Copies of this chain bind each other. A is one copy, B any other.
Amino acid sequence: MAAGERSWEEIRKDFPVLDQEVNGRKLIYFDNAATSQKPLSVIEAMTCYYEHDNANVHRGLHELSNRATAGYEGARARLAAYIGAQEEEIIFTRGTTESINLVARAWGEEYLKAGDVVLLTEMEHHSNIVPWQMLAQRRGVKLRFIPITPEGTLDLTNLDQLLEGVKLFSFVHISNSLGTINPAAELVRRAKAAGATVLVDAAQSAGHLPLDVKELGCDFLALSGHKMCGPTGIGLLYGRREILDAMPPFHGGGEMISTVTFEGSQYKPSPYRFEAGTPAIAEAIGLAAAAEYIDGIGRARIWEHDQLLAREGLAVLSQIPGIRILGPLDHRAGLVAFTLQSAHAHDVVSMADQEGLALRGGHHCTQPLLRKLGVPASSRASFAFYNTIEEIHRMGEILKKVQAFFA
């Protein structure tokens, strides 16, 4: 901890939800990959908006509407800064899933035709598989998958071959099921060299490490607010300006048009063209507060702490008899999925919950991946910067008990 920095202990106090008992035990929230908790500053930013400034945006000429517009467009600027983009490149969506669907619909239906190849990886979340399968059904595009190694990293041996003829390459930055950190910049570089448009699913990285879309070089990037200390109901799609400028709209409605006649309509430029209807105003403001909060701590510092928790988590879990840890053993994110020989993931999670420990069990929206790994379901502990080493040790004790119970 550098001079002047708030301690992790102090920071943890910003999260009211963490201060509670569950089933008579102090809550240990290790389900951060599913959704993160929210600091007071985020909750208050939204309350403040509703109690003082609430109005619809853009077309308003009165004071409240000016404030709401300034808040909403200010949030766009804040998020642009958060990922190194320009304001025009930030489209607010409900989250990663809607962002990817937006690309599949608006970009995919315009630029992809029957036989074109979309390259994915075997470790994608359903939200980066199903939209492309749906597009494949509608348009006849072909899907191709980069395989994974037994360690749970991408097998890049044949990448050049796999990239051949690829129109779009869409991949997950950090796997929510394996903790694998993919070499995003390298993947983007090679895919761009092969002529592909590239989308990065940053759902699991956006709240944890520094992200710069210009450095990454990707064309699209998707993230969810609720996974980075922000509210539910908001996320974004980054699109490179030249791409967005040429892209047809997604939804039709108010705010995204410049002129409507009974015969036809003209659309506004990006980002408005892609934001039909009243947007999630309070949520955008909440998300900006989350970006502010995270950068207040510093993403480099957060990532360092993540790494510490990841190492400790791995060390503690490795000592549970009969455990199988999924994903790589080093260079990984602060989430660890595992199976116990004696107990099914559901039983593990139910029992852990009885001890106040919140884990997630199941397929983590990566059914094809788990099938490939021969794992019907896994349990997952995922950490955030407000988690502690003590909590990880408590987890170790609880899981030992669970293991013994079912053994």
> A interface vs B, CB < 8 Å?
16-17, 20, 22-23, 27, 29, 31, 34-35, 37-38, 42-43, 46-47, 50-56, 59-65, 94-98, 100-101, 104-105, 122, 125-127, 129-134, 143, 145, 224, 226, 231-234, 249, 251-257, 259-262, 264-265, 276-283, 346, 349-350, 352-353, 357-362, 365, 367-368, 371
Contacts and interface: CB of A to CB of B under 8 A. Distances in A.
Contacts of A281: 226, 232-233
A100 B362 contact: no
Nearest to A358: B62
Main secondary structure of the interface of A (DSSP, over half): mixed
A16 B51 contact: yes
A353 B283 contact: no
| A62, A94, A104, A126, most chain B CB atoms within 10 A | A62
A201 to B, nearest CB: 11
A211 B17 CA distance: 37
A216 to B, nearest CB: 23
B43 A56 contact: no
A139 to B, nearest CB: 12
B61 A232 contact: no
A51 B38 CA distance: 8
A127 B61 contact: no
Nearest to A367: B260
Contact of A280 (B51, B96, B233): B233
B52 A20 contact: yes
A101 B276 contact: yes
23 contacts: A16-B51, A22-B62, A29-B64, A31-B62, A31-B65, A47-B47, A61-B360, A62-B360, A97-B276, A98-B276, A98-B277, A101-B253, A126-B254, A129-B260, A130-B256, A130-B260, A145-B262, A224-B278, A231-B282, A233-B280, A233-B281, A233-B283, A260-B367
Contact of A233 (B37, B38, B233): B233
Contacts of A125: 253-254
Contacts of A96: 277
A98 B62 contact: no
Nearest to A128: B253
A50 B40 CA distance: 9
A50 B17 contact: yes
Given A16-B50, A62-B358, A260-B367, 17 more contacts: A17-B51, A22-B64, A23-B63, A38-B50, A59-B362, A60-B360, A94-B280, A101-B252, A101-B253, A122-B262, A126-B257, A132-B252, A134-B249, A224-B277, A232-B280, A254-B365, A280-B283
A249 B36 CA distance: 28
Nearest to A224: B278
A131 B252 contact: yes
Contacts of A37: 54
B224 A260 contact: no
Contacts of A143: 262
Contact of A349 (B50, B61, B224): B61
A39 B105 CA distance: 37
Contacts of A357: 62
Nearest to A23: B63
A97 B251 contact: yes
Contacts of A231: 50, 233, 282
A130 B265 contact: yes
Given A59-B360, A231-B282, A349-B62, A43 B34 contact: no
A127 to B, nearest CB: 3
Given A127-B253, A129-B260, A257-B126, A352 B62 contact: yes
A295 to B, nearest CB: 20
A158 B360 CA distance: 59
A257 B130 contact: yes
Nearest to A264: B133
Nearest to A364: B59
